[in-house]
Structure 1
Amino acid sequence: MQALLIDDEIVAVNALKRRVDWSRYHVDQVFTAQSMQEAQEIFRQQKIDFMLCDIEMPNGSGLELFEWVKIYYPLTECVYVTCHPEYKYIRKALKLGSADYILKPIDYEELDEVLCELVKRLDKATENTEKIEKIPDEIMQKLISQNVHTEQDQMIRDAKQFILEHIQETIYVEAIANQVHLNEQYLMRLFKKETGMTILEYITNERVTMAAELLVETNFPIVTVADSVGYGNYSYFTKIFKRYMGDNPKTYRQKHKTAE
């Protein structure tokens, strides 16, 4: 496992690297960066499992960095380590799906609890990818028909179909771009222009839509539904589902199964 520490204060990042027993969390290598740009370069060269990141930095905040990471490296988890207790920061961090939010000065016992829980979740996510339930063909075809056949632009139609066919997997923008033979940046601009959504927003929307179908049309346990649509983090899945559908998965299932 590999970790990345990002803080514009070199003293802070070196102290964090030195004081934590990284082997306790199965971390073989720890990288450091002092800016968003340095962090992005490391991501391009290394597989980063999780990052500990400050929020306010020059030339790109930790929040902007994690938004970028969610698009290009969606499996990477993030824990914010910052001196900013303001609600607006915490809310944005949680909305992005960060694993936790720790205030400076760091309480290393608290950090230990957070990292232990994070590593357990990463290990479980790896195990779950090996035993995901197959989405019933009728549900898959229904969503593909609704989303792909109404799209006018062939490139966007192909991109949507690729996303839906790989909805149970980790979906990288690079893979979508390769499928439709477009530059990544051009694809993201075209997708936003044609659909009104970013690729990440579309993926999230389709995962929630598919989860809703599975909750009503199957008897899969809710944690299995989460895994089946690409969410290894159950609590994050519940949070996202409620934001989109207005109810948590359990309540949504009860309402719609009863309605039928």
Structure 2
Amino acid sequence: MYKVLLVDDEKIARMGLRATFDWEGNGFHVVGEAANGQKAMRWVENREVDILITDIAMPVMNGLELTRITKEFCPWAQVLLLSCHSDFEYVREGIRLGASDYMLKPTLNEDALKSLLICMRGRIDLEKRNLQILNEYREKEASQFKKPAEKNSKSVPPIPPEETLHERIVTQATSYIKLHYHKGISLQEVASHVSVSRNYFCEMFKRVTGQNFTHYLIELRINRAAELLTTSSLKVYEVAEQVGFNDVKHFSKQFKKCTGMSPAEYQGLYLKTK
């Protein structure tokens, strides 16, 4: 059972959350409810939280501060922020602090909640495995450090297992990107595909590839566009559409930024050298 904590200063909202979804029947257990972040701390500090569903605006301690503290005590936990109205400044801050997703209360229903929870469940399993591997590696390193060092030892340090895991996840992600780069693919979509949180994926992707997701995707699209410009009779706007750009002006700007030439100049240069 995945442990769920419900936090909202309105009792009727908490009652609605309980009634909206068949928690136990879907493998989730509601460990408790709280009217604000401060009252939720008993579960957070005891590390009894896998999923936190919290309102953003609450007295004493709001949902953003609760998110920050929850991620410190329970780094595997997934956080769903709730609000009565769109406030993207709060949402942006919540995502920065480690929230997994955001939902408007009026749009909350059983199907939408179930879809999010299933996705979160996969992320929790992966995050816990990552933490287990990391802890095992640290324990192994600590035990080796305590042993007397052999003289003139030239052994090569092993690759930390979390690095191997990160590389495998990023390889899965790049394979998915290469299959879907021509569509309106997003960072969240790719992170969900490999079952990790958006923030965790950003850090991992940059560490392994040396590029952030946006730069990687643009470079992939521009490389494919350059190939199409020199191997097909497609017009510039058609090439832009083929590689995932909806705006031909934006495509031209990015193409020139990467190659030093506009798409038309690049295509013309190739035709002259044929």
| TM-score category (smaller protein) | 0.5 to 0.7
Match of 1:119 in 2: 121
Match of 1:236 among 196, 199, 202: 199
Match of 1:247 in 2: 211
TM-score (norm 1): 0.54
How much has 1:34 moved relative to structure 2?
A: 0.4
How much has 1:242 moved relative to structure 2?
A: 7.1
Query: Structure 1 vs Structure 2: percent identity of aligned residues?
Result: 28
How much has 1:37 moved relative to structure 2?
A: 1.1
* 1:19 to 1:232, Cα distance in 2 relative to 1, 3 A: closer
Match of 2:69 in 1: 68
Match of 1:99 in 2: 100
**Residues 63 and 93 of structure 1 are in contact (CA less than 8 Å); yes or no, is this contact kept in structure 2?**
yes
Aligned pairs for 1:36-47 (under 5 A) are: 36-45=37-46, 47=48
Structure 2 letter corresponding to 1:125: E
- Give, in whole Å, the separation in 2 of the partners of 1:219 and 1:74: 17
Greater gyration radius: 2
How much has 1:115 moved relative to structure 2?
A: 0.7
**Residues 37 and 61 of structure 2 are in contact (CA less than 8 Å); yes or no, is this contact kept in structure 1?**
yes
Match of 1:221 in 2: 168
* 1:88 to 1:111, Cα distance in 2 relative to 1, 3 A: same
Higher RCO structure (Cα 8 Å, ≥6 apart) = 1
How much has 1:250 moved relative to structure 2?
A: 10
Q: Which runs of 5+ in 2 are unaligned?
A: 146-159, 174-193, 220-274
How much has 1:46 moved relative to structure 2?
A: 5.6
Aligned pairs for 1:154-193 (under 5 A) are: none
**Residues 222 and 250 of structure 1 are in contact (CA less than 8 Å); yes or no, is this contact kept in structure 2?**
no
- Give, in whole Å, the separation in 2 of the partners of 1:110 and 1:21: 13
Task: Please give the secondary structure, in 1, of the residue aligned with 2:28.
Answer: coil
- Give, in whole Å, the separation in 1 of the partners of 2:85 and 2:210: 30
* 1:54 to 1:19, Cα distance in 2 relative to 1, 3 A: same
- Give, in whole Å, the separation in 2 of the partners of 1:224 and 1:128: 16
**Residues 7 and 33 of structure 1 are in contact (CA less than 8 Å); yes or no, is this contact kept in structure 2?**
yes
Q: Which runs of 5+ in 1 are unaligned?
A: 142-166, 170-213, 256-260
Number of residue pairs matched? 174
